[in-house]
Structure 1
Amino acid sequence: MVKRILFVNAINPFVEVEQRYPNLGLGYLVSSLRNNFGKNMFDFKIIDRNVESEILDFKPDLIGITSVSQNYNYAKKYAKFAKNRNIPIIVGGVHISMIPQSLSPDMNVGCIGEGEKTILELFSVFLDKGRFLNEDLADINGIIYRKDNNLVINSSRKQIENMDKIVFPARDMFKIGRHSYMFTSRGCPYNCIFCASSRFWNKVRFFSAEYVIKEIEELISKHKVKLISFFDDLFIADKQRLKEIVDLIKKKKIDKKVKFTCSARANLITEEIASLLKEMGVLAVGLGLESGSDKTLKYLKGGNVSVEDNINAIAILKKYNIAANASFVIGSPKETKEDILETYNFIKNNPLSLFDIYVLTPYPGTETWEYARKRNLVSNDMDWSKLNVNFGKNLKQSIILSEVLNREEIISIYRKFQLLRLFKNIKNV
C-alpha cells in the first residue's frame, strides 16, 4: 500500500520572501527516498502554507517538518496539530540540529544535521512498524528522541564524503519559474560570529564541476530556467573548481542559454575571480560586507577581512560590469553610533547595486547565541519569533544585543538605513 508522506517547510506564511524559493533540502530527501525505495512506494507532497487544512485533506501517514529558528513556533504548532490526529512526526533542519533539546513533546524524532542517509533508516523503521519505537531508534545515528520522558541524543552521523552520490533534488515537487536556484557545495570555511553554517555542515564539501554542469543542464532542459542563483555560502571558495565550471560552461555554450548570480566574500574577490565570473555569465554577486568599520568587522568576521577589502571588491566587480549586492549588520554589543555612521557613509559612497540592512540577531549555533544566553536574552524554550531576521517587522520584540544603544536608538538608526536603501535602490533602477 502506498504511504502518503507530507513534508512541511515551516515558514512564516505572512512573509512573502519566505515563499519565493522552494526548500531544496526537502527535495533532496524526496530524491534520496525514491532512489532507495523506488518511485511507487510513497506519495509525496511538499507544502509551506495552509498546513493544517493540507493535513486534513491529504491525510498523510507521516509528516516531516523542517524549520529555521525564527519559525520554530510554526513547526511546534503543526506538530501538535498532527499529533492530535495520531500522525508520526519527524523534524529536521538547522534549528533542531543546533538545539536538539528544543524537541517538542509532540515530535517523535529529530534529525540532526545532514538528512539524506538518516531519513532512509527512519523510513525503514516506519515501513516495518508503522511507528517509531525506542528500541528501533536506538541504533540510528544522527537523531534525538524521547525515552521515559527523557531526551536521548544518539551518536552523530558521518557526513556524506562523495557529494556526487547525492541525487539531484526532486524539483518535480515544486513550481519552478524562470529564476531558480541550486547548491554546488555545503558549508563555509569561515566562522562569522552570527552564522551557524560552519557548525551545521562541519566542513566545506563540494559537488564536482561535472555534477554542477549536469544539474544546470537539467534546469535548462526540464524547467526552461533562464537565471540560476547559486545559494552556496561561498560559491568561489575553491578557485580550481570554479575554473573547471567556467571551462565546461564555455565548452557547452551554457552561457548562451542561462545567466547566474552567486555569493562571495570581499577578501576573495580578485581580478582573476571577477574575470572568471564574468566569463561564465554571472550578473550579480552577493557580498556579506557587514560593516564600514574595521572595528566592527573584526568583531563580526574575526579580523580576516577589512573595509579596504570591501571597497576593492566593489570596485573590481564594477570594472567587470557585475552588480555588487551587499548586506550589512548593525547592533553589535560594543558598536557605537559613530561606528554605525561609518557603515552608513560606506554605503553612501560606494557603488552598490542593492543593499540590505540587518540588526545582529543571536541564532542558535553561533557565538552571538552564546553571548545572548549568558545575558539571559535567549533560552531553549523561548518565543522563537523574537529571532525574526526582518527587524522592520519585529521592532518591539527583536532581541537587542547592543550594550551602548537602546531599542529606540537602534530603531531610529535602522529607519535611516531603510531610507538610504530606498534612495539608492531607486537611483539604481
Structure 2
Amino acid sequence: MDFISKTMKIKPRVLLIYTQRMVRGRTFEMIENLGILTLAAQLNAHGFEAKAYTGITTDVMKTIERMKDDLFAVCFYCDFDNQSALASMIHHLKRHHNFYIVLGGPQTLHMTEKDLETYQADVILKGEGEEILLEWLNGKVQGKQIIVPGEIRAQEKVNYVYLNDFSKYILPRDEDVLDYEEKPLLSVITARGCPHRCAFCFEGGNSKKLRMRPVEDVLNEIELRLKNSHRPRYVFFTDDTLTTSLPRLKKLLTGLKALRKRYDFVWFCEGHPGFLARNPELIREMMDSGMVRMQIGMESGVEEVLSAYGKQAGPEDIEKVVEICYRERLPQLTGNYIIGGAFETEKTLEVTAQTALKLLDLAPGLLDLSTTFIMPLPGTQIYNHPENYRIVLEDRDYITSLEDFPVNHTYDLSLPEVCMERSRFITKVSHKMKEQFEKGFIPKVRIKQDFKLALRYGIAGGYFKFIYVKNKRLFHYYSKLIEYEGLLKEWDQLDEEERYTWVPQRIPDFSMIDLKALSQTEFECLRISGRYTVREMAEKLNLSSENMKNLLTKMSESYLILFSHTT
C-alpha cells in the first residue's frame, strides 16, 4: 500500500484489539486478554511497535480514530461473543482508512472462505498467531505477496495452526498494554487446550490436545511481572486445567510459595471438583502457597445432567470440595450454574436451586455463586447435536443476546421461562446470603478476609459486593481496621494485658448509628471513646471488670469500636 511511509516501515505501529459490545463493566475488561498481549510481545521483539487494547466497541473506535494516522495494522481478536460487532467495525474501517486489518482468534477455527466476504479484513489467520502474524506483517512491510500457514484463501482448505513449544516466545509484558495503568489483577496462562470434553465447552470441544507450559516458564513470567509492579497483585490463572497434573501442580505450588516470600500477591485458579475430591489435601497446599479464591464447575445439582455434560464429577464431589474449602478456611469459592441447559425442566431447576441453598448452608460466607445460559459454541456437542440434550437453538450465532437473555430453550421450557427461572434462582440465592449475614451465621474472620481481599488485592466477592458494602457501619469498621492494620485491633485480638491498657476508639460517625438502640452506658462509652484506656473507662462508667468486658464485647460485635495502643 502506498500510504505506508518510510518511518512506519522502520518501526510499524500495530494495535491488537479485543472488544465486545457496549456493556461497561463486563468481566472481559477486567481480565487482560493474554492472547493479544503475548502477540504484542512477539511483534515488539521483532521490529514492530505493538500495543494491546481491550475495551467496549465505542471506546475501541474512538481509540482507532485517535491513532489512525500512525497505524500500520489493526489486529482484531475474534471470539463467539464479538463476531457480529467485528464484522460491522471492520466494514466501517475499510471504507474510511488504509491501514491493514487482520482477523484472528478462536472463532476463526470454524471460519471458511465465505467469511472473507463477511468480514472484509485484509486477512483472516486461523490459529495461534505467535509466528504466522509476524510472518504476514513482515511480508507487508517488505512489500512481498506471501501466503502464511493458517491464512484463509478462496478455494483452499486451511488448517488451524497449533503451537507446542511456547518456551521460545517472548513473555507477555504489562507495559505493552495501551495507556497502561497498573491494576491489581495479573492474568497468567499455564496451558492451552483441554483434555476434558464437556458438552458445552469450546476449548474441550475443539482443542486438539492439552499443551502445558513448563512450570519454570510460568514462574519466570510471574516473577518478571511482579518485579515491575508497585502494589500488591492478584495473580489470575486463566486456564481451567491447572489441576490436571498432580506432579506439575505441586511443582508450581512450591515455586509460588517461594515467590510469596519476596512479593505481595495472592492467586486464583479454576479447579476440577472430581480431581480435588480425590486429592483433598491439595486444597490446603494450594492455600499455603497463596490461593485465596478458586472456581469449580457446578453447572447443575442433578447427577444425570452433569453426566450428560461429561463433567466427570457428581454433586457429591462438589459438596465434598465445598466442605473441605470451608473447613480449611479458604476465603472464597465460586461456582457457576447453567440455567436452561441439558434436559432442563421445572423439576431439575428446583433440584439445582435446593442444591445451591444446601451448599450455602454448609459454608456461610464462602460461596460466590453465579448463573449463565447455554452458549451454542461452535464445535461443541450441544451445538452439533442439541436434540441429544433436549435443547432447541433459536439463535445459533448468538446475535440477539448480551448474555442477559437466552438464545436457546429446552423441550420443556420456553425462552421467557428459562429467563424467569434464572431470575428466581438468583433471588433464592440472594435471600439466603442476606439471611446468613443478618442472623450472624457468617464468622467475623470471613467478613474481615473479604474486606482485606477487596481493599488490598481488588478481589470483590459476592458477599462483599452485594451485602457488606451496603452496610455503611460495617464498611467503615473494616476499612479502618485494614487501613491501620496493627495500629487498630478488634476486641478478640487483644491479649489479657491489652484488654486493660488499650484505648477504645469509636469507629463509625454518630450519623451511622441508631442512637435510640443504645443504652445510656453504651452511648457514654462511645461519647468518651478515644480518651481513656479500658481500665480508665471502666472507672469513669463505674463498671466492674466483668461488666466492662461484656460491654466492649457487645459493642465490638456491633462494629462500633476498635482499639488503639494510645489515645
Cα shift readout 1:168-219 (whole Å, capped 9, x = no counterpart): 1131122331222211111221111111113444211222221122122123
Identity %: 19
Correspondent of 2:158 among 131, 139, 154: 154
Greater mean alpha carbon deviation, residues 80-89 or residues 292-301: 80-89
Q: Is 2:53 aligned against 1:24? A: no
Secondary structure, in 3 states, of the residue corresponding to 2:228? helix
State whether residues 291 and 329 of structure 1, in contact with CA within 8 Å, keep that contact through their aligned partners in structure 2: yes
State whether residues 174 and 225 of structure 2, in contact with CA within 8 Å, keep that contact through their aligned partners in structure 1: no
Q: Distance in 2 between matches of 1:333 and 1:102?
A: 31
Q: Distance in 2 between matches of 1:210 and 1:186?
A: 16
Aligned to 1:345: 354
Aligned to 2:219: 213
Aligned to 1:91: 103
Aligned to 1:6: 15
Correspondent of 1:180 among 186, 205, 210: 186
Aligned to 1:82: 93
Correspondent of 1:113 among 115, 119, 127: 127
Cα shift at 1:253: 4.0
Aligned to 2:384: 370
Q: Distance in 2 between matches of 1:315 and 1:51?
A: 44
Cα shift readout 1:98-144 (whole Å, capped 9, x = no counterpart): 344544241122121211111122112211227xx5xx22xx21221
Aligned to 2:374: 360
Q: Distance in 2 between matches of 1:375 and 1:359?
A: 13
Q: What is the total number of aligned residue pairs between the two structures?
A: 405
Q: Is 2:292 aligned against 1:286? A: no
Structure number with bigger Rg: 2
Q: Is 2:62 aligned against 1:53? A: yes
Q: Distance in 2 between matches of 1:68 and 1:281?
A: 32
Q: Distance in 1 between matches of 2:393 and 2:337?
A: 26
Answer 1 or 2: higher relative contact order, Cα 8 Å, separation at least 6: 1
Cα shift readout 1:316-349 (whole Å, capped 9, x = no counterpart): 2222212221011121242221111111011101
Secondary structure, in 3 states, of the residue corresponding to 2:21? coil
Q: Distance in 1 between matches of 2:254 and 2:110?
A: 38
Q: Which sections of structure 1, spanning at least 5 residues, go unmatched?
A: none
Cα shift at 1:417: 1.3
Secondary structure, in 3 states, of the residue corresponding to 1:141? coil
Q: Is 2:331 aligned against 1:328? A: no
Cα shift at 1:54: 2.5
Distance change (3 Å), C-alpha of 1:276 and 1:4: same
User: Within 5 Å, which residues of 2 pair with 1:374-385?
Assistant: 377-378=394-395, 382=397, 384-385=398-399
Cα shift readout 1:132-170 (whole Å, capped 9, x = no counterpart): x5xx22xx212213x4xx5x442443x322222232113
Q: Is 2:179 aligned against 1:167? A: no
Greater mean alpha carbon deviation, residues 282-291 or residues 226-235: 226-235
Aligned to 2:413: 405
Secondary structure, in 3 states, of the residue corresponding to 1:163? coil
State whether residues 362 and 387 of structure 1, in contact with CA within 8 Å, keep that contact through their aligned partners in structure 2: no
Correspondent of 1:238 among 237, 245, 258: 245
Q: Distance in 2 between matches of 1:13 and 1:207?
A: 34
Q: Distance in 1 between matches of 2:77 and 2:190?
A: 21
Cα shift at 1:13: 3.0
User: Within 5 Å, which residues of 2 pair with 1:313-324?
Assistant: 313-322=321-330, 323-324=332-333
State whether residues 376 and 393 of structure 2, in contact with CA within 8 Å, keep that contact through their aligned partners in structure 1: no
Secondary structure, in 3 states, of the residue corresponding to 2:418? helix
Greater mean alpha carbon deviation, residues 218-227 or residues 272-281: 218-227
- What is the alpha-carbon root mean square deviation over aligned residues? 2.4
Cα shift at 1:268: 0.9
TM superposition score normalised by structure 1? 0.87
Q: Distance in 2 between matches of 1:153 and 1:4?
A: 31
Distance change (3 Å), C-alpha of 1:408 and 1:7: same
State whether residues 99 and 364 of structure 1, in contact with CA within 8 Å, keep that contact through their aligned partners in structure 2: no
Distance change (3 Å), C-alpha of 1:198 and 1:370: same
Cα shift at 1:80: 0.8
State whether residues 16 and 50 of structure 2, in contact with CA within 8 Å, keep that contact through their aligned partners in structure 1: no
TM superposition score normalised by structure 2? 0.67
Q: Distance in 2 between matches of 1:333 and 1:251?
A: 44
Q: Which sections of structure 2, spanning at least 5 residues, go unmatched?
A: 1-6, 438-462, 465-567
Q: Distance in 2 between matches of 1:97 and 1:15?
A: 28
| Amino acid of the structure 2 residue aligned with 1:92 | G
Q: Is 2:213 aligned against 1:202? A: no
Q: Is 2:257 aligned against 1:250? A: yes
